[in-house]
């Protein structure tokens, strides 16, 4: 009786174990590879799957998007050593799970080898400056070439990004120095242009100010001359003086006005010899000045005649 009970329990446990091994669940982001005695039978879709255990086995393959970060050392056309960081996004093609499972081992290492090969064949076509400018184009070329090479193995290359391009430290320092020198030159040029513009503007302003000042001075002198002429004419008409005497009187009056201005403002010291006969002395000096001026402006007298009616030679 005990033996029969033990046998029933053993059979029940075996059936339960067989049932648990015969049914498998496959996730939505996975595909299953069913093998019968090691030979490929089918691809199990997501959901519940039944296997003829222990004759069949199930291996799961993820179809999620994966990322590979690859570092490549190479040289540009102008012989500059650079380190390039390439980021590749890839996934297993759900329709080619069989190819991926049976043909690929260590997928990351294989992708790195292909990326290194493509980068080292593309970068030497450009110099350093051009490589920085065409990073996006290079990434597109890498993606296209990598897709062709990995398609037979059931891999889909979703995107390829050239995330970083780092030159050698000495080259990077030289590039920074060149950029700093160029910017300093631009700053000096702009500063010189600003100083030039300021100088030109100041010169134009000074010229305009001098022009306006000259016009004002000319108007002032015309006004003074007109006033002086009017004063002389008034003295001549009212006092019966001739023009020369009227000019003498006007100049003496202006001289006294100047002395009065010095006395009123008191901002300067002027030594003027003055005595009881100062007024007549001033008038005499003014009159003598006019006489000397007229004498200098008058034509020279003709030479004396000889007895024969001819002029003597000097």
Angle at 256 between CA 253 and CA 258, to 5 degrees: 115
Q: Which CATH architecture has domain 66-167?
A: 2-Layer Sandwich (3.30)
- Report the pLDDT averaged over residues 92-99: 92
Interval 188-214: pLDDT, tens: 898 998 999 999 999 999 888 888 888
Lowest mean pLDDT among 24-38, 172-186, 226-240: 226-240
Measured CA to CA in angstroms, residue 37 lies from 50, 53, 97 at distances of: 16, 10, 19
Angle at 195 between CA 193 and CA 197, to 5 degrees: 70
Confidence category of residue 299, pLDDT binned at 50, 70, 90: low
222 C-beta neighbours (distance < 10 Å), count: 10
How much is the pLDDT for 220? 81
Interval 151-171: pLDDT, tens: 999 999 999 998 888 887 777
Q: Can you read off the two tokens belonging to residue 18?
A: 């067989």
Rounded distance between C-alpha atoms, residue 138 and residue 126, angstroms: 10
pLDDT at residue 312 tops 90: no
Confidence category of residue 15, pLDDT binned at 50, 70, 90: low
Residue among 75, 72, 66 at smallest CA distance from 86:
72
Contact criterion met (CB below 8 Å) for 50 and 18: no
Lowest mean pLDDT among 109-118, 159-168, 303-312: 303-312
How much is the pLDDT for 263? 72
- Mean confidence (pLDDT) of the chain: 80
Rounded distance between C-alpha atoms, residue 123 and residue 142, angstroms: 11
- Report the pLDDT averaged over residues 47-76: 88
Confidence category of residue 176, pLDDT binned at 50, 70, 90: confident
* Length, in residues, of the chain: 314
Helix/strand/coil for 167: strand
């Amino acid at each position: 009786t005990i033996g029969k009970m033990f046998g029933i329990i053993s059979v029940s446990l075996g059936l339960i174990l067989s049932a648990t091994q015969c049914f498998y669940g496959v996730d939505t982001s996975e595909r299953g590879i069913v093998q019968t005695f090691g030979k490929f039978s089918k691809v199990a879709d997501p959901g519940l799957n039944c296997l003829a255990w222990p004759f069949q086995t199930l291996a799961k393959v993820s179809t999620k998007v994966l990322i590979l970060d690859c570092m490549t050392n190479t040289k540009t056309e102008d012989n500059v050593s650079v380190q390039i960081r390439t980021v590749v996004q890839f996934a297993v093609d759900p329709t080619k799970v069989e190819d991926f499972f049976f043909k690929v081992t260590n997928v990351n290492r294989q992708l790195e080898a292909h990326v290194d090969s493509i980068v080292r064949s593309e970068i030497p076509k450009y110099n350093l400056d051009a490589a920085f400018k065409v990073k996006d184009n290079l990434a597109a070329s890498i993606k296209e070439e990598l897709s062709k090479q990995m398609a037979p193995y059931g891999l889909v290359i979703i995107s390829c990004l050239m995330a970083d391009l780092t030159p050698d430290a000495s080259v990077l320092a030289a590039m920074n120095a060149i950029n700093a020198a160029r910017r300093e030159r631009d700053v000096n040029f702009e500063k010189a242009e600003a100083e030039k513009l300021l100088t030109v503007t100041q010169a134009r302003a000074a010229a305009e100010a001098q022009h306006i000042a000259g016009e004002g001075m000319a108007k002032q002198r015309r006004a003074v001359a007109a006033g002086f002429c009017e004063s002389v004419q008034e003295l001549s008409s009212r006092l019966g003086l001739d023009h020369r005497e009227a000019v003498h009187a006007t100049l003496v009056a202006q001289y006294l006005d100047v002395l009065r201005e010095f006395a009123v403002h008191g901002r300067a010291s002027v030594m003027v010899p003055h005595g009881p006969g100062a007024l007549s002395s001033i008038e005499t000096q003014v009159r003598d000045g006019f006489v000397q001026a007229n004498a200098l402006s008058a034509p020279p007298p003709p030479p004396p005649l000889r007895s024969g009616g001819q002029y003597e030679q000097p």
